[in-house]
């Protein structure tokens, strides 16, 4: 429990102080939100560039809005299904491991002792640790799942959070290149400029979570996005020329 200066006591009674903080890497929402925003920015800016290369502003806006809605729903459904399937797979492995625990607990304990020895424990210490961990089935099961599969059954990401964050962030990213058109500026280059600024900002924001250099991450995202946008713009010109 915490003491008067903000420390906490470990199970041994010794003070335990955390000197650093970790980001949540198991919640599922950050990856989905980041990917959704990037995908929305790149795909819709590229779509607008391709359509705007040979079509009037009204067609560009219609295409951009359609791309926003179709992409947001597609991203949300895909992310929801992906996370849900992964969670169901974890649940299946938990059932397999629990069945093995109840059928042959001695073998599971021996397996744990072997894993602890591979981690550097002496045989005597590993045996004692294995006995202590296996005093509680739930604790032992969780330990095995973490060590063998790298998953914890109580820390699964929510498919609803992943899908919802993906939908919202895709829509936010996709609307950025449409902002000039919605404000009355019928300029493709203004839309592309907004998309470029959005890519810089999105890359910089993602870098804050991953603790990478902000400028490098922003420029990297801008360059990758620019390649896709330029390619789509060229295709739009060529297709427009063929149609006309």
The structure tokens listed for 59 are: 């067609």
How far apart, in whole angstroms, are the C-alpha atoms of residue 244 and residue 241? 5
Of residues 228 and 10, more confidently modeled: 228
Question: Each residue of 62-108: pLDDT tens digit?
Answer: 999 999 999 999 999 999 999 999 889 888 888 887 887 788 878 88
> pLDDT-based confidence at 14, cuts 50/70/90?
very low
Encode pLDDT of 125-157 as tens digits: 888 888 888 888 778 888 877 877 777 777 788
Cβ-in-10-Å burial (0-12, 13-18, 19+) of 167 comes to: buried
Most confident of 93-97, 112-116, 167-171: 167-171
pLDDT at 21: 55
> Is residue 32 pLDDT above 60, yes or no?
yes
175-189 pLDDT, tens digit each: 999 999 999 888 889
pLDDT above 70 for 19: no
Lowest-confidence region among 5-19, 31-45, 166-180, 205-219:
5-19
**What's the pLDDT at 12?**
43
In this model, does residue 1 exceed pLDDT 80?
A: no
Distance separating alpha carbons of residues 8 and 157, to the nearest angstrom: 28
44 pLDDT exceeds 80?
Answer: yes
Single out the residue of 147, 146, 198, 204 nearest to residue 174, CA to CA. 198
Least confident span in 17-31, 63-77, 229-243: 17-31
């Amino acid at each position: 429990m915490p003491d008067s200066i903000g420390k906490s006591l470990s199970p041994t009674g010794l003070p335990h102080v955390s000197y650093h903080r970790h980001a949540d890497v198991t919640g599922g929402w950050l990856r989905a939100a980041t990917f959704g925003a990037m995908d929305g920015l790149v795909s819709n800016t590229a779509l607008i560039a391709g359509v705007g290369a040979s079509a009037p502003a009204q067609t560009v806006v219609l295409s951009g809005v359609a791309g926003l809605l179709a992409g947001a729903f597609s991203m949300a459904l895909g992310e929801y299904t992906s996370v849900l399937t992964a969670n169901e797979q974890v649940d299946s492995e938990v059932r397999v491991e629990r069945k093995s625990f109840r059928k042959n607990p001695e073998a599971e304990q021996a397996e744990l002792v072997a894993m602890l020895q591979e981690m550097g424990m002496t045989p005597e210490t590993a045996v004692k640790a294995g006995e202590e961990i296996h005093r509680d089935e739930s604790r032992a099961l969780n330990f095995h799942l973490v060590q063998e599969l790298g998953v914890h059954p109580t820390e699964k990401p929510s498919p609803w959070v992943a899908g919802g964050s993906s939908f919202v962030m895709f829509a936010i990213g996709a609307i950025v290149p449409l902002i000039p058109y919605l404000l009355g500026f019928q300029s493709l280059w203004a839309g592309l400029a907004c998309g470029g600024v959005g890519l810089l900002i999105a890359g910089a924001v993602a870098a804050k979570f991953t603790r990478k250099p902000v400028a490098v991450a922003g420029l990297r995202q801008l360059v990758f996005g620019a390649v896709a946008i330029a390619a789509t713009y060229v295709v739009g010109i060529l297709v427009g020329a063929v149609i006309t």
